[in-house]
Structure 1
Amino acid sequence: MIKFSNSLIGLINFLTFLLSIAILGGGIWLSTKANNSDCLKFLQWPLIIIGVALMVVSLAGFVGACYRNTFLLWFYLLTMFFIIAAFLVFIVFAYVVTDKGSGRHVMNRNYLDYYLSDYSGWLKERVQKDSYWSKISSCIRDSHVCSKMGVEINGVPESADMFYLRKLSPIQSGCCKPPTVCGYVYENETMWNQGGGTMDYDLDCSTWSNDQSQLCYACNSCRAGVLATVKKHWRKISIVNIVLLVLLVIVYIIGIAAFRNNKRIENDEPYSSTRMTKSQPSRIHF
């Protein structure tokens, strides 16, 4: 098994190299998606860094295993250890910061409403900072996610009852309409008139504006919608990340076996044999 480890580590690192390309592509895709609609750049940079690091390390491990280069294998093992540790910290951190909070079901509505009070921790503190939120809200506004909500049936705008049956994204629900509790009356997807709701119940009720450049971009519900989007994206890739972490650990263990095998070859130690020396040579000869 130890002699077989060099060939196996070379093959696995080649596959890991291909996987690093996919991870790098995923990070770039998340970056593009964040710029276009979600606007909270949280997941893409760790994935891009991990993808590039895996690409470099897998090349070093592949060359080191195939050419029995002990230095490259040593570099591979040392760097892989830090990558695994950093990846584990990233997974745990992302789970912790996206653990709490979810949308609330609303009576006679198919979409969910989002409240910032349901969230806590580092991400909530980030979106509550005006300097940080101004960049996110500007990004959401520039993405035109709200203006794209309009739906027509046979050339006729959808009715209120049809709108209530829609499944809105967290950002559409939190940023493009007022919270349901405010009691606003539907005119169209982004135009709502004051009704009989309790306007003092939620600060967002007075923050909402029919000005298409304002809407609910300054609302806490919009902040909550962004956090819900981050949580949704993290949950989608969490299983892949855990599987990747397990794969990295397996590759690391095999890499240790390959490194030991190369050290044995450099020391001219035959496999499954031991060297014994006597402190005093025997004086009996036959």
Structure 2
Amino acid sequence: MKFSNYLVGVLNFATIVLSLPVIGGGIWLASKHDTDCVRFLQWPIIIIGTVLLVVSAAGFVGACVGISCLLWIYLFVMFLLISLLLCFTVFVFVVTHAGAGHGLAGKGFKEYTLGDYSTWLQNKVDNAENWNRIKSCLSDAQVCKALNAEYPTTDAFSNSQLSSLESGCCKPPSACGYTFENATLWVNPTNVTADPDCLLWSNDNLCFDCDSCRAGLLQNIKQDWHKVAILNVVILIFLIAVYSIGCCAFRNARREGAFSFRGKAYA
């Protein structure tokens, strides 16, 4: 087997390895409470990673046994996958770039406003059917369960570093003026007109019907997806480099007659 065969085989093996972090990123997202409840983002990347793995394996076999048709398929599909992964990564950056927490005087945590986030994400959580499913999932995950034990006093709660989900879903907005009884029990609001969520707070259902809960969920999604998108950028750089070298190696292999088609030399 000539040098070009070995080179293309090694490059295909490299893309097999690179597909694993793509799949792993999707699995990591699916394992988290916030993104486990919102399945419209992690599955595309798991699918892309899986197809990349299968195609790379086909290219590796094609390089090892010198079957040019497999390598043609590999190069074509790899181009499509790189383009798809690039578009998907850009899309993730675009829909998650907006939105951030608002600091509060004397508080260790931030609060979140739904209108700060992209329209596409807002539409996903504004849909009643979607939100009922997400709300049920978050409730089952008991995202507020540990707060009472962790922050038993007003001062402890005020200085807490709540996650965006805890801040948005487990307490009423600070502007409402509720009195702290414990981390999930608030009474006697002094300004229920300060925020529409003030009237949605319930000591039984907490703030799972509030826009602040939707915003807290989107903030968590934004943070998680930025991590995965950065990983995707690194993987894309390597994939593009591997694909470019693979194209050159395959072209050289054709000139050398290194690959065969149906048992005949291919040049």
1:216 is the counterpart of 2:242: no
In 1: Cα distance, 2:75 partner to 2:185 partner: 59
Residue in 1 aligned with 2:222?
Answer: 231
Residue in 1 aligned with 2:28?
Answer: 29
Contact preservation (8 Å) 1:27, 1:48: yes
In 1: Cα distance, 2:12 partner to 2:175 partner: 55
1:62 is the counterpart of 2:55: no
1:207 is the counterpart of 2:189: no
In 1: Cα distance, 2:51 partner to 2:158 partner: 47
Root-mean-square deviation (CA), in Å? Answer: 1.9
In 1: Cα distance, 2:30 partner to 2:10 partner: 31
* Amino acid in structure 2 at the alignment position of 1:102: A
Cα distance change on mapping 1:20 and 1:193 into 2, 3 Å = same
Q: How much has 1:10 moved relative to structure 2? A: 1.8
Residue in 2 aligned with 1:20?
Answer: 19
* Amino acid in structure 1 at the alignment position of 2:254: K
* Amino acid in structure 2 at the alignment position of 1:16: T
Residue in 1 aligned with 2:106?
Answer: 108
The Cα offsets for residues 199-251 of structure 1, whole Å up to 9 and x where unpaired, read as 1121100100011xx11010000000111011000111222110111111111
* Amino acid in structure 2 at the alignment position of 1:94: V
SS in 1 for 2:38: coil
* Amino acid in structure 1 at the alignment position of 2:68: T
How many pairs were matched up?
258
Contact preservation (8 Å) 2:11, 2:246: no
User: What pairs up with 1:60-209 in 2 under 5 angstroms?
Assistant: 60-152=58-150, 158-196=152-190, 198-209=191-202
- Bigger CA radius of gyration: 1
* Amino acid in structure 2 at the alignment position of 1:19: L
The Cα offsets for residues 128-149 of structure 1, whole Å up to 9 and x where unpaired, read as 1111111111111111111122
Unaligned regions of 5+ residues in structure 1, if any? 269-286
After superposing on structure 2, the runs of 4+ consecutive aligned residues of structure 1 that deviate more than 6 Å are none
Contact preservation (8 Å) 2:4, 2:253: no
Q: How much has 1:186 moved relative to structure 2? A: 1.1
Cα distance change on mapping 1:216 and 1:163 into 2, 3 Å = same
| Percent of aligned positions that are identical | 48
In 2: Cα distance, 1:5 partner to 1:98 partner: 42
Q: How much has 1:18 moved relative to structure 2? A: 2.7
Residue in 2 aligned with 1:47?
Answer: 45
Cα distance change on mapping 1:37 and 1:192 into 2, 3 Å = farther
Q: How much has 1:6 moved relative to structure 2? A: 3.4
The Cα offsets for residues 123-169 of structure 1, whole Å up to 9 and x where unpaired, read as 111111111111111111111111122325xxxx6211011111111
SS in 2 for 1:230: helix
Unaligned regions of 5+ residues in structure 2, if any? 260-267
Residue in 1 aligned with 2:263?
Answer: none
Contact preservation (8 Å) 2:5, 2:63: yes
